[in-house]
Amino acid sequence: MIDEKQQTKALDADLSELFLRQSQKALLLRQESYGLRIERLKKLKAWVLANTTKIRDAVYSDFKKPEFEADLSETFVVLADINLALKSLKKWTKPKSVPAGLTYFGSSAFVHYEPKGVCLIISPWNYPFNLCIGPLVSAIAAGNTAIIKPSELTPNTSQVIAQMVGELFPQEEVAVYQGGPEITQRLLQLPFNHIFFTGSSAVGKIVMEAAAKNLSSVTLELGGKSPVIIDKTANLKDAAEKIVWGKLLNCGQTCVSPDYLFIHESVRESFMEHLKYFLETLFKQPGENFKETPNYARIINKKHYQRLCQALSTAIEDGASLVYGGDVDETENFISPTVLDNVPLHTTLMKEEIFGPILPVNTFKNHDEVIQYINGQPKALSLYLFSNDKRIQKRYRLETSSGTACVNDVVVQFQQPHLPFGGVNESGIGKSHGHFGFLAFSNEKAWLKQRVGFTSAKLLYPPYSAAKKRILNILMKYF
């Protein structure tokens, strides 16, 4: 019998050997033209297009993710990422000249986008294909090698990812390691040039601490509570429809899902009517049970199911009123869309990321109290404001901080390919998507070329005479 220690030793040896091979390959990739990266991305695109059914079936068997949502939020978004990279890579990789100015007269300078090297991509279970392969697209576009650690909670999708990578890339270019935290812990011992982690803030801290030992750079795409504010000037019907869609997508298990809602007290009743209407009709036929519709996913596992049931029942015990839903079934990890009113601010539902189909609603009288509340919480990944008042929109833009924000819609800012995506502090560090993803996996190397025998800095070489002091004074005044 091989004991645990020996197994860890064997795993470490295996990982070190792979890391070494990827490091050697990374040196070669650094010298390649962008055309070869395009070839890799095209291979990836062709595989995804040829295997949409396989991806769809895998995420369905992992947590009954509806077919349409799998196509939309796993496959389509990855294809869109690849297409943008294919279209833009020539521009992204082109060195960017910077002006020399008078002080650097005679020199030329530019930013060279160098691949970081060997990268680690750790992903969560909630969009198991998209959040693994999206970062891989950026890593490949930027010319890196990568080791991927998909989530152990979606084993069917992880298996598809391993198969795809195995068919498309030699291990020294891209490799997949499946398993849980124990594998991540071993991987984190290695001196990666960049670590791209998507997951909870708690594990993000573990990743950052491990990265610090090797001074590996990190992108941390984390979670948190994304507030929704509905002003009295909002179009309530439009707001209700969009919020129901964003909240029930993936059964509320979306990092940018509307987490909790503050509504102006004067429009609460009218909004609740619209909300109930769309809850009844958007994902199912009126009168149909949410269990019967193929459009509604399940909670990923028993642990999360129990966590949500507990948060729901303690909120009700503490005074919240159940306005809609509240049906649960442990045999299927099923929780129906649930709306609660007057939810005390100290409850788990208002303190921790919900990550499920439960929407707490509270009212407000004026925006000062909402802004003050938001600023007293950890910084959100997203903030949603429904308002037609430009002054109010400006107040939230200037007076609150969040990774992303969206006015009069929810979730869609995630997929705007020309916007950076990511959190701030507790909700994340660094940005991803499109050009920002390319930059996350690139070292922006400063390159300055001087004329031989000349440098304007010579004017200030020692000895530091009075004349040189006068030149420096002039420079300090005018530059």
Contacting range for ligand NAD; rule: CB under 6 A; set: 20-28, 122-130, 162-170, 382-390: 122-130
Q: Which of 153, 157, 162, 156 is nearest to 181 (CA)?
A: 153
Binding to ligand NAD in span 404-463, by CB under 6 A: 423, 428
Residue 264's SS3 state is strand
CB 259 within 8 Å of CB 374? no
Residue 152 within binding range of ligand NAD, rule CB under 6 A: yes
Which lies closer to ligand NAD via its Cβ, residue 117 or residue 423? Answer: 423
Which lies closer to ligand NAD via its Cβ, residue 301 or residue 455? Answer: 301
Residue 260 within binding range of ligand NAD, rule CB under 6 A: no
Amino acid at 339: V
Which lies closer to ligand NAD via its Cβ, residue 236 or residue 380? Answer: 380
Residue 200 within binding range of ligand NAD, rule CB under 6 A: yes
Residue 181 within binding range of ligand NAD, rule CB under 6 A: yes
User: Which distant-in-sequence residues (6+ apart) come within 8 Å of 158 by Cβ?
Assistant: 128, 150, 151, 152, 176, 178
**Which of 95, 101, 170, 180: binder of ligand NAD (CB under 6 A)?**
180
What DSSP element (H or E) covers 312? Answer: helix 302-317
CB of 127 to ligand NAD, least distance (A): 6
Residue 214's SS3 state is helix
- What is the Cα–Cα distance from 208 to 203, expressed in whole angstroms? 9
Binding to ligand NAD in span 7-46, by CB under 6 A: none
Contacting range for ligand NAD; rule: CB under 6 A; set: 6-14, 75-83, 96-104, 148-156: 148-156
- What is the Cα–Cα distance from 120 to 187, expressed in whole angstroms? 8
Contacting range for ligand NAD; rule: CB under 6 A; set: 18-26, 91-99, 118-126, 287-295: 118-126
**Which of 19, 63, 92, 125: binder of ligand NAD (CB under 6 A)?**
125
- What is the Cα–Cα distance from 115 to 193, expressed in whole angstroms? 9
CB of 422 to ligand NAD, least distance (A): 7
CB of 366 to ligand NAD, least distance (A): 30
CB of 256 to ligand NAD, least distance (A): 7
Q: DSSP letter string over 68-133?
A: HHHIIIIIIHHHHHHHHHHHHHHHHHS-EEE--TTTTTT-EEEEEEEE--EEEEE--SSSTTHHHH
Amino acid at 372: Q
CA angle 257, 263, 266 (to 5 degrees): 160
Which lies closer to ligand NAD via its Cβ, residue 50 or residue 202? Answer: 202
**Which of 45, 149, 367, 379: binder of ligand NAD (CB under 6 A)?**
149
Residue 206 within binding range of ligand NAD, rule CB under 6 A: yes
Q: Which residues are known catalytic residues?
A: 221
**Which of 151, 157, 362, 402: binder of ligand NAD (CB under 6 A)?**
151
Q: Which of 286, 285, 302, 303 is nearest to 294 (CA)?
A: 285
CB of 201 to ligand NAD, least distance (A): 7
Burial of 466 (0-12, 13-18, 19+ CB in 10 A): exposed
Which lies closer to ligand NAD via its Cβ, residue 93 or residue 402? Answer: 402
Residue 143 within binding range of ligand NAD, rule CB under 6 A: no
Contacting range for ligand NAD; rule: CB under 6 A; set: 25-33, 123-131, 275-283, 404-412: 123-131
Binding to ligand NAD in span 338-357, by CB under 6 A: 353, 355
* Count, residues near ligand NAD per rule CB under 6 A: 27
Q: Which of 408, 365, 370, 412 is nearest to 389 (CA)?
A: 408
CB 338 within 8 Å of CB 324? yes
Burial of 122 (0-12, 13-18, 19+ CB in 10 A): buried
Letters for 354-373 (x = contact with ligand NAD by CB under 6 A, - = none) are: -x------------------
Q: DSSP letter string over 375-397?
A: HTSPPEEEEEEE-S-HHHHHHHH
CB of 144 to ligand NAD, least distance (A): 19
**Which of 70, 142, 251, 255: binder of ligand NAD (CB under 6 A)?**
255
> Which residue is closest to ligand NAD by CB?
223
Q: How many CB atoms lie within 10 A of CB 16?
A: 13
Tokens of 114: 């160098």
Which lies closer to ligand NAD via its Cβ, residue 260 or residue 278? Answer: 260
Contacting range for ligand NAD; rule: CB under 6 A; set: 108-116, 221-229, 313-321, 370-378: 221-229
What distance lies between CA 140 and its chain's CA centroid? 18
Which lies closer to ligand NAD via its Cβ, residue 18 or residue 121? Answer: 121
| Interface contacts to ligand NAD, rule CB under 6 A | 122-126, 131, 149, 151-152, 180-181, 184-185, 198-200, 203, 206, 221-223, 255, 353, 355, 381, 423, 428
